[in-house]
Structures are given as structure tokens and as C-alpha cells.
């Protein structure tokens, strides 16, 4: 129940006292972590835990910008979530699944060789890549899919970029006997063909979205179109801390366990808090998950790494904070990439999971208040980090997570050897082997030749074949 | 916050202090007059939607003016948007093409001006972000200056509408909001309290696009709206034929047609048809629909 150790609007009646009294095993690290007296931290915590407000706002961000047709469903979800959080049986079931199915708690690894190689702060890794399905996404989907059953709904839809959230959703739906449809941009079905196959093996229908930019934002558009027509029996399982209220709050709460565990593990391992916590940010769910428990610890720097693509200056990037402006997209007000007319600009990143023009509204608030800072890591730096982590630690991380590593290397050098940097290793990189192999020219000649020389935009001829295959398979499924 | 109670005939006091949920529109807005005139004729108002900039800015203007000439009473000028989550494939295709063609918010306002010139009340139908980006007050000012009658803002819920209500009241614009079959009585009341001109009732749970039948939820929804307001109620989503328009006109004050009209333009583009011929076909469908809302449509339903 560590995941619910924070207050939220939907469960305003829910007090800290209750949380401790009903503590399940997973809450123990949190309780221990809270023990040191930090008067400033406690005050800050009180302030931060009041977000979002009653109307779902994080300061001026967040809210609900959706058609009236979805309002009833969002109200229903908000109420169902509030009740579930306060229901011992629901909490016990989720905690049970997290422990016995998802593999929580995930370990904290000391990256000795990486630390030595960088020559700066001691680097600790929170190993979400070792969670079932290979990323932190499972934390959220188990919660939302249990909630789906609780609401009496039988069908779950999801969007996916890298495919990690789609795979996690397909997994939870298989486990809980729910129908599952995953929307995925056509461009991403090509980049992440392995995950398309994984979702289909798990019994999900994968719908390739060919509208707009054919990436994550368009998959979300299509999922919203589905939801408005099927909302009576369908839950939209949003995969990040984004969308209309209550999603940014709810997904954060389900992901918060990352930071709750990590904070206790770091205290246990080194006897003090880390100096910095670093995570990659697309929508920002692993970052919100690992950040949130540390927000009251004002001495801990929280650093998010946005995807810089070819570099912010080129305009081909996915850095909503560094290169965007406040606006409204996908039901929320937040920072987003947009042109002078308010049209969404197409994002670019080698990482499908970070290739999104917006960012969760709570990150927008953390940025604006200065409690967290956001850096940009471009494609090349992320891929360098991916290779270095693989060679020094024997961990093949997701390209998304590699952005956090690249940012963390800089932070580790800036802070020096006495410091401790905690990195969110949010996912494993099996799905990215093909992209990485092309990037590093590791393929044997024939394949390498057909892949072309431009690694950031892998060979078009090859790609078309992959998309055609994915389409055929999709047709066969439907 | 207590909403200000009012009926459509309540005189407005622009100088009076207004909360964000108060509606300061004038009693004789162009939409009010339009619905009153139709009521006097014993018929429903026909509202026609086309996106600005498709196939070109001038081409869209020609099609919209043809609609009005053929009997469309109110025009919705769509503001093409990159992420039209409430639209089906036909309007998506047209909006995408318009954006690829470089249409801007200023082009949309120019379109409004050209259409409002016909005398038909002209609304902008827009997702919210382009308005926010343009500047809420500036958009209201420029829309009013272009002769616009108001705006339909489908992804702007009452909870977030404060600045828009203030700006539209200052400029005498009608802020039109949507209700859906899923709307609770409390939400119907909340939407009706802030809306101006007419309440836009979505006939079904879904996105825009032609349907074989208009949802049977539509009549029930209109009846529920009438319990909470005396504002006119117009029904949209899924209406594509004169027969459907006639059917909806039996229980609603207005009939809104979008995708069926857009499809004529899309088909014309795909076939490489002469633009004037396409515009003429838009007029033909609009005339058919106009006969529908008057209950005088030809026995053979138009196919669109």
C-alpha cells in the first residue's frame, strides 16, 4: 500500500494516520523513510501533497479539457478511485499483485564500474527494468486494471509509444481477464515491432494509427475517439501522468512506489538521502513516480531529462519545457510544443517513449516552482549512455532510460565524488536492440547496407516492409 | 459559486458585475433572432459546418456562401486543428489538408468575415488551444470585429470557461457549449446556464461523422435539456440526410450537419472535380437539408 501513501483530492478524507495504521509490508520502507525529523520537509510535503486541488489543477496546469461526453466518465473514475484508495481489500489486492506478480520491490543497484568510469558521484540505480514486463509501467496498469474491474467495465484501451505501456496493459488485461485494445502510431509500430508482437501474443488487439504524425500523440487522439464512443463499458488506461484529471494524480499515485522504495533503499544502503534523483521525462510517469516521495526532501535535487532529439536548436526534439510553451492538449494545460497558431508541433526523438509534444502537468508545476529542474539530452548523448551502461554494468537499458543516464553522468560530474546520484532505470532495452544495432552499426553487412547510413532515421525501405507486416498482422487479428 | 439564473429573454446588463458563470450576452443576439424567426415559421434552424481553408481559404468561403444561398441558416466555420480528438475521419482529412495548405487562425477570421457578410449568423467551431494561443480577449475582439456571432468550444468545459465567458460577453458573442447523452441533470443545468444562442446537443456518444441513423438518445437528451432551460436546442453528430434532418426537426430547434457537407468537398478533391461543380453539389445537399428542416423534402432521401 505504499503506493497510496500520499493524500489526494479524490480521497481527501484519507489521512496520514490511516495510512500508517493500515500499513501493509510495502509501506514499511516509507514509514522508516519518514522517520528522520525534517521540519522543512514536512511543511513542504503538506504543500505538495495538496496537489492537485479539488478541480484537478496543479497550480495553473492540469484541469480537464475534454468534451462534455467524457465528463461523466471522469467523475465516475475520480469517485471510484477515491473509494478504492480507502478500501482495504483493493489496496491489499494491488499490493499483493505488486509483490507476487510484478516483482516488487525492485532492487537498488550500485553502479560501481559506471561510477568509476564517470569519475564523479556514486551512481545508484533504481531497477524498474527488472519489474515484470520490463519497465515501471506495470505499477500503473495493475492499479488501473483492478480499478476497471471494480467499476464493472470489461474492456480496456491504451495508447503506447515505445510499446512498454501497451505491453504492460496487455499483460494486466490477460491476468485479469479484460479485453484489451492498444493504439500505437504507425511510425512506432515500425520502431518497436518487437513490442507489437508481444502485445499480440498477450491477446491484445494492436491498432496502427496512420493519422497525423503517426506517433504517440496520434495514438492518444485515436484512443480518445474510441473512449467517447465506448465509455459505458471501456476504461481508458492512460499510461503516463497526463491527460484530464484524475489521470495525472492517479498515475502518479500508482507510480509513487518507485520513489518510496528507492528512498528507503538509499537510506538503508548509504545512511543518507541522495543528493540528486535523475529520471527521463516524456509524459513523465517514471519521473513523477521516483520524484514524488522526495519532494519534501528539499536538499535532494530532482532532475528530469527531456528528449532533445537532434537538439533543441534544430526544432527536431521532444523537449516540452525547454522548447515549448503553456497550452492545452489531451485534456490538460501544460507545456507543449506548438506553433504560433496553437497547432501542436510534431516531436522528434530516437526514443519512441519520449516522442511526445507535451509533459505531465505536475512536472510543469515542479518546473515553474523550481522544485525540479529539467535538462535536455539529445539522441546522440542518450545512445552513448546506452552503450556505456551496457559495457560497464551489463545492463541494456531502454533508450528512454538512457536519457536519464546521460543526464545523470553530467550531474555526477558536477556534484563530485562525495555525492550520491540516484538514477531511475525505468525500463530494459530489449525492444531497442534493432535501433541500437543500427545506431552503432552492429549489424552484419547485408542488413546494415539495407538499413542505410542514417541511423537516426533508419532505412525507409526496410521500415516500409516492417509496417506492411504489422498491418497484415493487424488485419489478421481483426 | 452560484450561477446566475436566466432565461433567453432576460435582459443583459453588460455593466453589471458578472461571475465567470454569468452570461452577459444581449437578449437579441443574431442567433436568438435566427431561432426566433425559424420558430415563427414553424420550422427548425439548419446549421451547416465546413472547415476553413479546405480545399483553400477562398474555396471554403465559396462553399460556405453556397450553403447559405441554398438555405443554411447558421454557419459553423471550423478552425482546423492538429489534434481533432472529437472528429471522425472525414473532418480529420479536411482539417489535415487545410493545415498542410498553411491555413492560419487569421485565415479563419477572414473566412468568418466573408461568410457573415451574407447575413447568416456565423460561428467559429474550435478546439480550445488555438484560442488560448491567439489570446482569449484578442480572439473574442477579432471574431466580433469580423462579424462573428459566437464560438462553439467543444473541449472547453464550464469549469475552465471563465475567461472565455468574460471575453465573449464583452464582445457580444454567444458562447455555445455542448451537452451529451451522458450528461447528468446537474451538468445539463451547468452548461445551459453559461451557454448562449443555443445548446448544442450531441446526438450520440462518439465523434463526428455520418451515421445510418441518428441516435435514439437524441430526442431524450433534447427533452432533458428543455427541463433545465428555455434556450433553443440544436442536435448535431450523425445527421447527414434530409430525412434525418426532418426527423430531428420534429423534436429539436436546430439541426447541425457537418461531415456530410465536408464529404462532398473531400470527394470532389479526390476525384479532381472542377471546384465550381463541387461547390454546386454542396449547395444541392444544403438545399435538400433545408427542405428537410422545413418538412418539405423530396420523397427520395438525398444520399451524401
User: What's the burial of A76, exposed, middle or buried (CB within 10 Å: 0-12/13-18/19+)?
Assistant: middle
Backbone torsions φ then ψ of A298, nearest 5 degrees:
-65, -15
Q: What is the pTM of this model?
A: 0.87
Distance from CA of B278 to the nearest CA of A (A): 25
Average pLDDT of the segment spanning B65-82: 98
Q: In this structure, how many other beta carbons lie within 10 angstroms of the beta carbon of residue A79?
A: 13
Active-site residue list of B: 76, 87
What pLDDT, on the 0 to 100 scale, is given for residue B262? 98
How many of the other CB atoms lie within 10 Å of CB of A268? 12
pLDDT of residue A162: 83
Instruction: Give the one of B82, B157, B160 whose C-beta lies nearest to A68's C-beta.
Output: B157
Q: Using one digit for the tens of pLDDT, what is the confidence trace for A133-163?
A: 999 999 999 999 999 999 999 999 999 988 9
Provide the annotated active-site residues of A: 137, 159, 426
Residue B78 has pLDDT above 70, yes or no: yes
Given a cut of 90, whether residue B46 has pLDDT beyond it is yes
Which of A449-458, A467-476, B24-33 has the highest average model confidence (pLDDT)? B24-33
Average pLDDT over residues B53-77: 98
Q: Is the pLDDT of residue B9 over 80?
A: no
CA B42 to chain centre: 21
CA distance between the termini of chain B: 46
Mean pLDDT lowest among A1-15, A341-355, B93-107: A1-15
**Cα–Cα dist B34/B254, whole Å:** 10
pLDDT reported for residue B282: 98
Q: What SS3 state is found at A455?
A: coil
- Chain A neighbors of B84, CB-CB under 8 A: 221
| Mean pLDDT lowest among A319-328, A378-387, A437-446, B236-245 | A437-446
Helix, strand, or coil here: A87?
Answer: coil
Per DSSP (E only), the strands in chain B are 45-51, 74-78, 122-125, 150-152, 174-176, 178-179, 199-202, 233-236, 254-257
Question: What are the Cα distances from residue A370, in Å, to A240, A258, A295, A366?
Answer: 22, 22, 11, 6
Reference B83, options B154, B175, B159; nearest CA is B154
Answer for the pair A306, A313: CB distance below 8 angstroms, yes or no: no
Relative to beta strand A122-127, strand A108-110 is antiparallel
The CB-side HSE value for A390 (13 A sphere, CA atoms) comes to: 20
Q: Is the pLDDT of residue A350 over 90?
A: yes
Alpha carbons within 13 angstroms on the beta-carbon side of residue A286 total: 34
Q: Judge whether A255 and A288 are in contact, CB under 8 Å.
A: yes
Query: Is it the case that residue A33 has pLDDT exceeding 70?
Result: no
Q: How high is the pLDDT of residue B27? A: 56
Give contacts of A228 with chain B, Cβ < 8 Å: 86, 205-207
What is d(CA A32, CA A45) in angstroms, rounded to the nearest whole number? 16
Cα–Cα distance measured from residue A416 to residue A120, given in angstroms and rounded to the nearest whole number = 5
Cβ neighbors of B54 (< 8 A, separation 6 or more) are B60, B80, B94, B95, B97, B98, B101, B103, B262, B265
Mean pLDDT computed over A170-190: 95
Grid cell 462553399 in the structure block, residue: B63
* β pairing state of A234-236 and A205-209: unpaired
- Residue percentage of chain A with pLDDT more than 90: 78
Q: Does B206 touch chain A (CB under 8 A)?
A: yes
β-bridge pairing A122-127 and A155-160: unpaired
> Which of A336, A323, A68, A338 has the alpha carbon at shortest distance from B105?
A338
Q: Which of A55, A230, A338 sits opposite B159 (nearest CB)?
A: A55
Q: How far apart, in whole angstroms, are the C-alpha atoms of residue A15 and residue B129? A: 37
Q: How many CB atoms lie within 10 A of CB A311?
A: 16
Q: What is the pLDDT of residue A268?
A: 98
Per-residue pLDDT, averaged over B170-182, amounts to 97
Instruction: Give the separation between CA A262 and CA A216, rounded to whole angstroms.
Output: 29
| ipTM metric | 0.89
The answer to whether residue A274 scores a pLDDT higher than 90 is yes
List, for residues A184-240, the tens digit of each pLDDT value: 999 889 878 889 999 999 999 999 999 888 889 999 999 999 999 999 999 999 999
Torsion of CA A429, A432, A434, A439, to 10 degrees: -100
Pick the residue with more confidence: A414 or A193? Answer: A414
Place of cell 434532418: B245
Query: Does the structure show a pLDDT above 90 at B302?
Result: no
- Collect all residues of chain B within an 8 Å Cβ-Cβ radius of residue A55: 159
Q: What is the pLDDT of residues B219-276, one digit of tens each?
A: 999 999 999 999 999 999 989 999 999 999 999 999 999 999 999 999 999 999 999 9
A54, A64, A69: best to mutate for the B interface, most B CBs within 10 A: A69
Q: Is A478 helix (H, G, I), strand (E, B) or coil?
A: coil
Query: Looking at residues B139-165, what average pLDDT do you find?
Result: 97
Which chain A residues are within 8 Å of B159, Cβ to Cβ?
55, 63-64
Any idea which of A202-216, A317-331, B149-163 has the lowest mean pLDDT? Answer: A202-216
- Secondary structure (DSSP) of A96-152: HHHHHTS-PSPPEEE-HHHHHHHTSSEEEEEEGGGSGGGBTHHHHHHHHHHHHHHTT
Q: What is the pLDDT of residue A8?
A: 37
Chain B closest-CA separation from residue A142 CA (Å): 27
Paired with B50 in beta bridges are: B77
Instruction: Say if residue A16's pLDDT is above 50.
Output: no
B57 CA to centre of own chain: 19
Per-residue model confidence (pLDDT) at position A48:
67
pLDDT at A105: 98
The DSSP code for A358 is B
- Which distant-in-sequence residues (6+ apart) come within 8 Å of A36 by Cβ? none
Rounded to a whole number, what is the distance in angstroms from the first to the last CA of chain A?
Answer: 39
* Residue B49 sits at the chain A interface (C-beta within 8 Å): no
**CB-CB: which of B85, B99, B134 is closest to A225?**
B85
The answer, yes or no, to whether residue B191 has pLDDT greater than 80, is yes
**Can you say how many angstroms the Cα of residue B253 is from the centroid of all Cα atoms in its chain?**
13
Over 50: is that where the pLDDT of A21 sits? no
Residues in A touching B202 (Cβ below 8 Å): 67-69
Residue A467 has pLDDT above 80, yes or no: no
**Best of A57, A62, A66, A68 to disrupt the B interface by mutation (most B CBs within 10 Å)?**
A68
Residue A246 has pLDDT above 50, yes or no: yes
Query: What confidence category does residue A445 fall into, taking pLDDT thresholds of 50, 70 and 90?
Result: low
* Residues in chain A whose Cβ is within 8 Å of chain B: 55, 63-73, 211-212, 217-218, 221, 224-225, 228-232, 327-331, 338, 340-344
Asked if B156 is an interface residue toward chain A (Cβ–Cβ < 8 A), one would say yes
pLDDT band at B24 (very low <50, low <70, confident <90, very high): very low
**Nearest chain B residue (CA) to A327:** B129
Distance CA B276, CA B83 (A): 30
Mean pLDDT of chain B: 90
Nine-digit cell string for B235:
442536435
Q: Give me the residues paired with residue B166 across strands.
A: none
Distance between B31 CA and the closest CA of chain A, angstroms: 22
Average pLDDT taken over every residue of chain A: 86
Q: Note whether B132 contacts A341, CB cutoff 8 Å.
A: no
pLDDT for B210? 80
Q: Which residues of B touch A361 (CB under 8 A)?
A: none
Q: In a mutagenesis test of the B interface, which of A327, A331, A341, A345 is the best target, namely the one with the most B β-carbons within 10 Å?
A: A341
Which pLDDT score is estimated for A192? 85
Amino acid at each position: 500500500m505504499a503506493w497510496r501513501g500520499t493524500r489526494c483530492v479524490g480521497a481527501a478524507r484519507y489521512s496520514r494516520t490511516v495510512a500508517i495504521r493500515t500499513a501493509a509490508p510495502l509501506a514499511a520502507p516509507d514509514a522508516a523513510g519518514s522517520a528522520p525529523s525534517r521540519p522543512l520537509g514536512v511543511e513542504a510535503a503538506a504543500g505538495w501533497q495538496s496537489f492537485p486541488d479539488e478541480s484537478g489543477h496543479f497550480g495553473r496546469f492540469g484541469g480537464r479539457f475534454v468534451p462534455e461526453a467524457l465528463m461523466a466518465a471522469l467523475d465516475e473514475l475520480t469517485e471510484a478511485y477515491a473509494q478504492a484508495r480507502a478500501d482495504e481489500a483493493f489496496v491489499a489486492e494491488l499490493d499483493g499483485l505488486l509483490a507476487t506478480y510484478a516483482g516488487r520491490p525492485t532492487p537498488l543497484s550500485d553502479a560501481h564500474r559506471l561510477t568509476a568510469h564517470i569519475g564523479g558521484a556514486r551512481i545508484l540505480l533504481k531497477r524498474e527494468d527488472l519489474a515484470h514486463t520490463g519497465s515501471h509501467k506495470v505499477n500503473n496498469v495493475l492499479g488501473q486494471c483492478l480499478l476497471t474491474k471494480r467499476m464493472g467495465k470489461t474492456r480496456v484501451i491504451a495508447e503506447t509509444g515505445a510499446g512498454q505501456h501497451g505491453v504492460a496493459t496487455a499483460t494486466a488485461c490477460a491476468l485479469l481477464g479484460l479485453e484489451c485494445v492498444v493504439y500505437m502510431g504507425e511510425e512506432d509500430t515500425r520502431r518497436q515491432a518487437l513490442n507489437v508482437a508481444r502485445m499480440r501474443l498477450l491477446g491484445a488487439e494492436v491498432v496502427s494509427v496512420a493519422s497525423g504524425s503517426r506517433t504517440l500523440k496520434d495514438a492518444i487522439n485515436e484512443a480518445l475517439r474510441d473512449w467517447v464512443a465506448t465509455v459505458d463499458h471501456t476504461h481508458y488506461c492512460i499510461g503516463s501522468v497526463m491527460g484530464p484529471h484524475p489521470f495525472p494524480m492517479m498515475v502518479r499515485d500508482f507510480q509513487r512506489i518507485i520513489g518510496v522504495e528507492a528512498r528507503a533503499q538509499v537510506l538503508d544502503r548509504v545512511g543518507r538521502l541522495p543528493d540528486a534523483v535523475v529520471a527521463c521525462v516524456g509524459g513523465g510517469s517514471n519521473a513523477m513516480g521516483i520524484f514524488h516521495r522526495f519532494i519534501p526532501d528539499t536538499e535532494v535535487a530532482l532532475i528530469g531529462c527531456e528528449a532533445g532529439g537532434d537538439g533543441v536548436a534544430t526544432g527536431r526534439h521532444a523537449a516540452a519545457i525547454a522548447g515549448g510553451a503553456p497550452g492545452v492538449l489531451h485534456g490538460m494545460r501544460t507545456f507543449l510544443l506548438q506553433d504560433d497558431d496553437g497547432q501542436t508541433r510534431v516531436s522528434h526523438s530516437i526514443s519512441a517513449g519520449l516522442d511526445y509534444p507535451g509533459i505531465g502537468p505536475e512536472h510543469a508545476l515542479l518546473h515553474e516552482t523550481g522544485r525540479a529542474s529539467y535538462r535536455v539530452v539529445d539522441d546522440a548523448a542518450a545512445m552513448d549512455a546506452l552503450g556505456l551502461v551496457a559495457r560497464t554494468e551489463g545492463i541494456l537499458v531502454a533508450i528512454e532510460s538512457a536519457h536519464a543516464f546521460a543526464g545523470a553522468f553530467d550531474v555526477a560530474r558536477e556534484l563530485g565524488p562525495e555525492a550520491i546520484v540516484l538514477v531511475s532505470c525505468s525500463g530494459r532495452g530489449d525492444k531497442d536492440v534493432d535501433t541500437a544495432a543500427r545506431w552503432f552499426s552492429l549489424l552484419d553487412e547485408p542488413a546494415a547496407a539495407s538499413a542505410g547510413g542514417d541511423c537516426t532515421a533508419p532505412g525507409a525501405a526496410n521500415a516500409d516492409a516492417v509496417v506492411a507486416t504489422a498491418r497484415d498482422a493487424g488485419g489478421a487479428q481483426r | 459559486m452560484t450561477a446566475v439564473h436566466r432565461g433567453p429573454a432576460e435582459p443583459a446588463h453588460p455593466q453589471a458585475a458578472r461571475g465567470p458563470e454569468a452570461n452577459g450576452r444581449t437578449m437579441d443576439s443574431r442567433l436568438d433572432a435566427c431561432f426566433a424567426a425559424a420558430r415563427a415559421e414553424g420550422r427548425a434552424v439548419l446549421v451547416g459546418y465546413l472547415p476553413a481553408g479546405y480545399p483553400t481559404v477562398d474555396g471554403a468561403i465559396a462553399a460556405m456562401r453556397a450553403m447559405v444561398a441554398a438555405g443554411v441558416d447558421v454557419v459553423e466555420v471550423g478552425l482546423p486543428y492538429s489534434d481533432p480528438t472529437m472528429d471522425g475521419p472525414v473532418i480529420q482529412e479536411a482539417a489535415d489538408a487545410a493545415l498542410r495548405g498553411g491555413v492560419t487562425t487569421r485565415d479563419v477570421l477572414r473566412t468568418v468575415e466573408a461568410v457573415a457578410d451574407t447575413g447568416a449568423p456565423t460561428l467559429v467551431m474550435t478546439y480550445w488551444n488555438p484560442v488560448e494561443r491567439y489570446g482569449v480577449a484578442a480572439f473574442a475582439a477579432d471574431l466580433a470585429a469580423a462579424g462573428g456571432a459566437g464560438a462553439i468550444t467543444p473541449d472547453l468545459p464550464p469549469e475552465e470557461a471563465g475567461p472565455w465567458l468574460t471575453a465573449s460577453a464583452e464582445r457580444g458573442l454567444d458562447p455555445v457549449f455542448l451537452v451529451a447523452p451522458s450528461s447528468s441533470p446537474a451538468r445539463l443545468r451547468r452548461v445551459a446556464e453559461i451557454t448562449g444562442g443555443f445548446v448544442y446537443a450531441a446526438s450520440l456518444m462518439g465523434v463526428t461523422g455520418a451515421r445510418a441513423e441518428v441516435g435514439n438518445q437524441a430526442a431524450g437528451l433534447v427533452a432533458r435539456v428543455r427541463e433545465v432551460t428555455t434556450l433553443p436546442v440544436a442536435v448535431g453528430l450523425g445527421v447527414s440526410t434530409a430525412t434525418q434532418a426532418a426527423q430531428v426537426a420534429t423534436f429539436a430547434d436546430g439541426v447541425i450537419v457537418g461531415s456530410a457537407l465536408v464529404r462532398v468537398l473531400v470527394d470532389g478533391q479526390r476525384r479532381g472535380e472542377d471546384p465550381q461543380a463541387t461547390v454546386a453539389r454542396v449547395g444541392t445537399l444544403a438545399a435538400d437539408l433545408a427542405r428537410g428542416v422545413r418538412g418539405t423534402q423530396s420523397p427520395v432521401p438525398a444520399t451524401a
